[in-house]
Amino acid sequence: MTFSRLLIETIYSKKNPVLVGLDPRFDWIPEAIRRNADPKNNEQVAEVFKEFCREIIDIVAPLVPAIKLQAAFFEQYGVHGMSTLHWLIHYIRIKKGLAVIFDGKRNDIGSTAEAYAAGILGEHSSWGADALTVSPYLGDDSLEPFVKTAVERNAGIFVLVKTSNPGGKMIQDLVVDGKTIYRRIAEYVQQLSLSTQARSERYGNIGAVVGATWSEQLAELRGVMPNTWFLVPGFGSQGGSAKDVAAAFDENGLGAIINNSRGILFAYRQEPFQSTFGETKWQQAVEAATIQMIEQLRAETPAGKLTNNNTK
């Protein structure tokens, strides 16, 4: 099964395009889970992360099609954190049957890029991820090894095109020869996506990261990349709304997965979930925040049409 087909099948199965991001922060994890752990002990923190993230996965797995793991939050705790990251990837894929995106924003050239791709992408790789985020700023030859490996292993990559952070415009919005950098990258990503299309598929296996915080550019880029999956960060805590991401979808509600990390993981820390559930019922807050996001996307974007699709 190609990566594009995997996304389609899992999105149809759950009838929504929500992507839950695992970005664990020790100090924000409910006190009941972390109370006996020393924050300076990497092994103990990694065990806290494993317990917390496993509970998150168990709650959201019946509701959403995919999970994204932000590698940096685990890598900062050395071998113990990376062991937890590895365990979670396989728990999500094998035990829960969801698509897994490794958010590492890797980039390099030649054999180094090949090594990154070989280690992370595909069911039988060391990490076992279905897809990987990559940066394009070393040029087209830096992307080629990732694309090649993705094609060989039926995996996917998401190329940073228009990121959600305010500072991204320093480079991405620069105009060169009458065209922004982000649009130039988008045109190249569209070519890559077309080159990896299966015969019967609308979308290829090479996707783009396009932030929810730039709704006008998101709409522009959907026009530039009609055959490209969008991974859309910036929903919720960064200010992006369901209306902001509506243009990411095609007329059938496909073509995009919308990420929410802090707004789901730590829903108990913010209203209205803080008053309703509080820290002692943080699991219910996670579930309620996930359902709320699903309902918002169904109400305000073409993703609402997924509820009418009976494809398994």
Q: What is the pLDDT along the chain (312 residues), one digit of tens a residue?
A: 899 999 999 999 999 999 999 999 999 999 999 999 999 999 999 999 999 999 999 999 999 999 999 999 999 999 999 999 999 999 999 999 999 999 999 999 999 999 999 999 999 999 999 999 999 999 999 999 999 999 999 999 999 999 988 898 899 999 999 999 999 999 999 999 999 998 888 999 999 999 988 889 999 999 999 999 999 998 876 777 899 999 999 999 999 999 999 999 999 999 999 999 999 999 999 999 999 999 999 999 999 999 887 554
Q: Looking at beta carbons, which pairs linking 140-146 to residues 24 or more positions away fall under 8 Å?
A: 140/188, 141/109, 141/110, 142/107, 142/108, 142/109, 142/113, 143/192, 144/113, 145/110, 145/113, 145/114, 145/116, 145/117, 146/106, 146/113, 146/116, 146/117, 146/121
Domains and CATH numbers, the chain: 3-306 (3.20.20.70)
Q: How far apart are CA 132 and CA 155, in angstroms?
A: 9
Annotated catalytic residue 105: yes
On whether the pTM is more than 0.85, the answer is yes
Q: How far apart are CA 99 and CA 96, in angstroms?
A: 9
Q: Give me the catalytic one of 96, 105, 169, 281.
A: 105
Residue 48 is which amino acid? Answer: V
Count Cα neighbours of 39 within 13 Å in the Cβ-side half-sphere.
9
